[in-house]
Amino acid sequence: MPSQSNGPHPPYSSGDQRRGTRFRRRHTPGDLVAGRVVRNAGEGMAWVDFEGEALLTNMSPCPAPGTMLTFEVLRTHPEIQLREARGAANTASGLSRQIHDFFAARSAFEARLAQGDHTTGTDQASFLQALPPGATELYARVNDCVRAINDIIREQRSDRLSYPPWLAPHARELELLCTPPDAAWGHAVLGLRTARFGAVQIRAVLRSPQLRCRVYAEHPQGAERLVPLLVVALPRSETSWEVESGRAERLPKRHRGGLPAELLAPIPPHFSL
């Protein structure tokens, strides 16, 4: 179990060696890692989710569950030792707050859509025109949060977050993270939640006109049929994409934190499908 160097407890080695092995494989001293507090374990300890892997971490006092923190890896042997990255704290804290606001605004907007019967368009213009009373203002709040998030990540990442609910009006929690359309090559991730497939991520590498993607879902059978949603969502939608995709796979732990967790995590050297 990782420890913080300024915590009240001595360093601990993980009781679950498999967890420690996975963390050590991914990280080396000097790395910055984002973690989300899952729950207080008592006695100055808390379960923290690092990229879909929960580890028991020294933390006193324990922040509220859901709090996003950034840590510097001090060492990985003989035990994992972390230190809260104060230099990144302001950016991480500001981004965490904006992501929290985004979730809240999106939930309010989608709750309004779920009230009563109304028609929805299948493109942005007709979708917005068909919004029920009061929903336009809620949608504007979601986009204000998206702009605030992109302003924070602009200096560190080339990709941008967007919220395209018209892609699948009966789905929820849509998120698109995509590199700019003028990039020679890039990547895109579309996240959403449906009643049939649960949480879904469609992850793609783009090298025009090729689009190579993998589909992950909580209930994967048949989820590959959602790939056209990503094709429509891409800024370069006029491109005639040559799509390469196999059958959907079960959503792995490393992607269960969702796109906001990827925004808070350090930028990997290569985009991972």
CA distance 99 to 101: 5
Please tell me the predicted confidence (pLDDT) of residue 192. Answer: 94
160 or 237, which is more confident? 160
CA distance 141 to 222: 34
Give yes or no: residues 125 and 233 share one domain.
yes
Q: What is the CATH number of the domain that holds 14?
A: 2.40.50.140
Query: Is 255 inside any structural domain?
Result: yes
Q: Nearest Cα to 193, choosing from 94, 103, 83, 127?
A: 103
CA distance 118 to 61: 47
Per the CB < 8 A criterion, the answer to whether 57 and 63 are in contact is no
Query: Is 14 inside any structural domain?
Result: yes
Please tell me the predicted confidence (pLDDT) of residue 8. Answer: 36
193 or 265, which is more confident? 193
Q: Nearest Cα to 158, choosing from 178, 175, 143?
A: 178
Give yes or no: residues 53 and 135 share one domain.
no
- 14-54 residue pLDDT tens: 334 556 677 887 777 877 777 778 888 888 788 888 777 78
CA distance 250 to 262: 18
Please tell me the predicted confidence (pLDDT) of residue 15. Answer: 38
Query: Is 196 inside any structural domain?
Result: yes
- 80-129 residue pLDDT tens: 887 776 544 445 567 877 887 888 899 899 988 888 666 666 688 888 88
Domain of 78, in residue numbers: 3-84
* Counted domains in the chain: 2
Please tell me the predicted confidence (pLDDT) of residue 7. Answer: 42
Question: Does residue 162 register a pLDDT over 60?
Answer: yes
Query: Is 169 inside any structural domain?
Result: yes
Give yes or no: residues 57 and 173 share one domain.
no
- The structure's pTM equals 0.67
Phi and psi at 78, nearest 5°, equal -75, -20
Structure tokens at 147: 């702009």
